[in-house]
Structure 1
Amino acid sequence: MFAPNDEQSALEAYKKLQGGADFMEVAAEAGMDKSLVKLGEFTANDILPDLSEATFALSEGGVSEPVETALGWHIIRVPSITAGSTQTLDEVRDIIVDGLKQFKAEDAIYDLAATFDEELGAGTAIEDAARDVGAKTYKLNGVVRGEGLAGEAIDGADEINAKIFELESGEESFLEETATGTRFVVRLENITPSALRPFEDVREDVIAAWEADERQKLMLAKAEELANSINTTGADLIGLASEDGASVMESGLTKRTGQGLGEDVNPAVAAALFTLEERKAKAIQTGEDVLVVKLDEIKSADANTVDAGRVTDELKEAINEDILAQYLTYLREEISVSVNNSVINGLYAPTAAN
């Protein structure tokens, strides 16, 4: 694949192939990654529509002329063809049975949901309508915004919670459906306005939070004292840590991005290291942890000895990720999912209560 504005390079590559050049060698010369060039086996429906016709017009071993798509210019080679075949009924029986069961289940759920919705629209109480269709009902107390459904393990609890807080006191929602297919209706009986809880109710929580905060302050003050000792007197970090019962961990040689850090090292360590001079230290806080970070060595890059191959590989990886992102965006635009709200509104009468 070549860039959209690089038709000339695609034509030159095609001429080389026509002259008997190896496909993979030509791809490598053009800077293509082998993992992206080899697409594996696929059917006509599994490839971009713009490429499908050209691909399946080729015979085994055939190479196409450059083909243009929204992603750029492509040259296609078909190394092998697997003949199409029809599976026997016995081979696909389980798949068909499972599919039919799924279809019938979805059909039955739809019918029940429609019946339930009709009863609500006729003024039937939620409890009675639910009983008639075999649905579960829950009476929830003390539901807090953004905290699920008061301890109940209900599928789609977060979505239902969000719906509850869209209602006014005494309102019912429409018949709704969660992302996983759970259908639900909510009736909001009353709202308790938000207010500060009495101190006696939160005394233990306040004490625990205060103690934790004070511990953090003391730990940070101690870490700053240790870092200052290292910076002013050249004290040994390992010795200081041993005296205070603290553990010592080597971060590893790291880049600014954190690449090279040990698995158990917080990424904030890399950022801290790049603010220090050699043999200097500083205290940092990462969540609940307080650390003393000391820079042992700076390894400067040397443009004359740098591993150009490694840099090239990193650039290729970045380019490949960009191409993949563009490809996925193209697929989303070509194979999109849309919601026809007018059809949905027709299925569920506006007078029905959710």
Structure 2
Amino acid sequence: MFDFVTKNKRLIQIVLAIILIPFAFFGIDSYFRFTDTARTVARVGDYRITQQEFSQALRERQDTLRRVTGGQLDAAVLDSPELRYATLEGVIQRRLLLDRALRSGMTLSDAQLQRIIGELPVFRDESNQFSFARYQQFLKAEGMTSAMFEARMRQDMILQQLSGAYNGGAFVSRSVTERLARLSEERREVSHYTIAADKFLGEVRLGEDAARKHYEANPAEFQVPEQVRVEYVVLSLESLLAQVQVDPAEVRAQYESRRARFEVKESRQASHILIGVDSTAGADAGEKARARADDLYKRLAQKPAAFAELARQHSQDPGSAARGGDLGFISRGSMKDVPEFEEALFKLKPGEISAPVATRHGFHIIRLTSVQAAQVKPFEEVRGEIERELKQQLAARRFAEAADQFNNAVYEQSESLKPAAELIKAAPQASGWITRGRAEPAVLGSPKLLAAIFSDEVVKSRRNTEAIEVAPGTIVAARVIEHKPAAMQPFGEVRAGIEKRFALREAAKLAAQEGARQLGELRQGKSVAAAWSAPQLVSRAEGKGVGEAVVRQAFRADVTKLPAYAGVENPQGGYTVLRVTRVQEAASIPAERRQAFGEALRQVLGQEAFSAYVASLKQKAEVTINKVELERGQ
């Protein structure tokens, strides 16, 4: 269902525009930890959302926004009240849904969880097998234990079960689907012309004191924010990592002492033919499937080389049938959900074909193609990996030691950053002008660091800020070297801009008035001297160069009588008059297009039902928010 939405975004937008169904998405972006002594940001029934839990969720959302915007997002946005409230709303909704799911008996077994994690591409190696080493690297990078990650995955899967029950269960009638599909496929022939605001600038007369009055009534609009220039020093784990050198003998010693870690288990390349059994169909279906599998096995006994051909013809495993039944390489323990299959496979010799093996999926005829013996990866193959790990460990230790010394130097010698810079063998860097809401480079954009930089002690006394962690593994200290207080721009500098803006605004009003007048005459059947554009046959999805606002207005126009006229004000100023001269309805809707609309509608209705369900849970639950803690931060 979610794949469908991704591939048909434009289609869903059209459906939304037609039926105007509002719905809200909820965030699933945190996992839960509870500490009795922690400060409470919110309560959901008896459950307390701690400051620690909220801060973790907020950091995750901030990190996501940084990645999406390439670090260009205004620092003030990352710690805005709106983002904090939205994040808390996501945590509250997740808590409500988890509580309801668990009360309803929704669970995920250890075997199911293991299979899901094992199938995640991020943990697969070059041979498409689960890599425990990659799993461990991922956990380390995310700062999580396996228990924390598995708890999070379990919760996410349970929530998917709950949301899936709504997203996949909506009913849409054929007639509604057909009607909406036809509306979407409808095309209208549109031409238009624009009355530009610039034409009316000569008619605009502004009061002599209009600009001055606006300037005096809106001082905040012309306020230049407080600015500073700073020098700063950065201590980062990344820079220390570049300086670390590892003794080759230590790399070899690590390899020898941990050879078991680099062991590659025996794996077997297998193919199978699956004759499935419907678990609800009764004993007769099982017997028929068994007989069919036995018959195929007898044929293979006479002609083993026909395995791939028979798999393509008869196997009911769509994933492997097209490949002649090939399943790739399988190691022990990777098929715990079908232990009978794994047991039979590891008894075979290369080229041997098993008798039908019964599992919960049906009957499998298994062929062992080849065997990769267990082995330890050669030292040269893993040396780079071991070196990186040792460097990271050594750099982390040095960073922890340097951080303490750096912090002390910044605090104890607060009139200068040079001692702290010399300590980490770095030179202080200078910034350009920065404000409380915007700073370059990005390392200065931390809300906590900016708050420290603009504090009275740092600005007035020219003291160092404390050493502040602006990101995991990155600590920054700064001091102000130049300061500009907030000030009003002189009226003489902004007067021309104000007058130009006012003139354009008044000219736009005159253009809209003239446009409305001409539209009225056209609707009365009168002619208007205008340079109409060439007619274009457009649809809701394809504007063909016609502006979106014009297309939208064209499909709102009453076309019971043609030509039909409509008008729309332009955001940039001016007025566009449009004419619809022809309506072309779809002759027929292809089956796949109709099906796509049905899926889109079910998705939309399912989302609305799910949003209503979330709202009802919140209404029934006793939810309280501690605004002081919410706004306090870490």
Q: Shorter-chain TM-score: which interval? A: 0.5 to 0.7
2: CA distance between counterparts of 1:117 and 1:199?
Answer: 46
Give yes or no for the alignment of 1:276 onto 2:536.
no
TM-score (norm 2): 0.33
Give yes or no for the alignment of 1:199 onto 2:491.
yes
Higher relative contact order (CA 8 A, sep 6+): 2
For residues 1-354 of structure 1, the aligned pairs below 5 Å read 11-12=279-280, 19=289, 23=316, 53-54=336-337, 58-59=341-342, 65=360, 87-98=377-388, 100-101=390-391, 104-105=394-395, 108-128=398-418, 129-138=420-429, 142-149=433-440, 154-157=441-444, 159-160=445-446, 163-165=449-451, 167-171=454-458, 173-179=465-471, 182-187=474-479, 194-210=486-502, 212-214=504-506, 216-217=508-509, 219-221=511-513, 223-225=515-517, 227-233=519-525, 240-241=530-531, 250=536, 252-254=538-540, 259-262=541-544, 264-278=545-559, 279-286=564-571, 291-298=576-583, 306-316=589-599
2: CA distance between counterparts of 1:63 and 1:269?
Answer: 64
Shift of 1:276: 1.4
Q: What SS does the aligned partner of 2:498 have? A: helix
Amino acid of the structure 2 residue aligned with 1:283:
V
Contact conserved, 1:169 with 1:188, CA < 8 A, in 2? no
Q: What are the superposed Cα offsets for residues 10-30 of structure 1, whole Å, 9 maximum, x if unpaired?
A: 84489979836853679xxxx
2: CA distance between counterparts of 1:267 and 1:80?
Answer: 60
2: CA distance between counterparts of 1:194 and 1:283?
Answer: 41
1: CA distance between counterparts of 2:577 and 2:329?
Answer: 55
Higher helix share: 2
Amino acid of the structure 2 residue aligned with 1:281:
A
Higher strand share: 2
Amino acid of the structure 1 residue aligned with 2:558:
E
Amino acid of the structure 1 residue aligned with 2:469:
E
Between the aligned residues of both structures, percent identity stands at 16
Shift of 1:312: 1.8
Q: What SS does the aligned partner of 2:539 have? A: coil
Q: What SS does the aligned partner of 2:596 have? A: helix
Amino acid of the structure 2 residue aligned with 1:201:
E
- For structure 2, the residue ranges without an aligned partner over 5 or more in a row are 2-159, 169-276, 293-313, 320-326, 346-355, 459-463, 611-634
Q: What are the superposed Cα offsets for residues 64-96 of structure 1, whole Å, 9 maximum, x if unpaired?
A: 637xxxxxxxxxxx9999968754333444455
Contact conserved, 1:127 with 1:137, CA < 8 A, in 2? yes
2: CA distance between counterparts of 1:297 and 1:162?
Answer: 60
Q: How many residues align?
A: 278
**Cα–Cα, structure 1 residues 55 and 179, in superposed 2: closer, same or farther, change >3 Å?**
farther
1: CA distance between counterparts of 2:280 and 2:429?
Answer: 70
Shift of 1:274: 3.5
**Cα–Cα, structure 1 residues 92 and 177, in superposed 2: closer, same or farther, change >3 Å?**
same
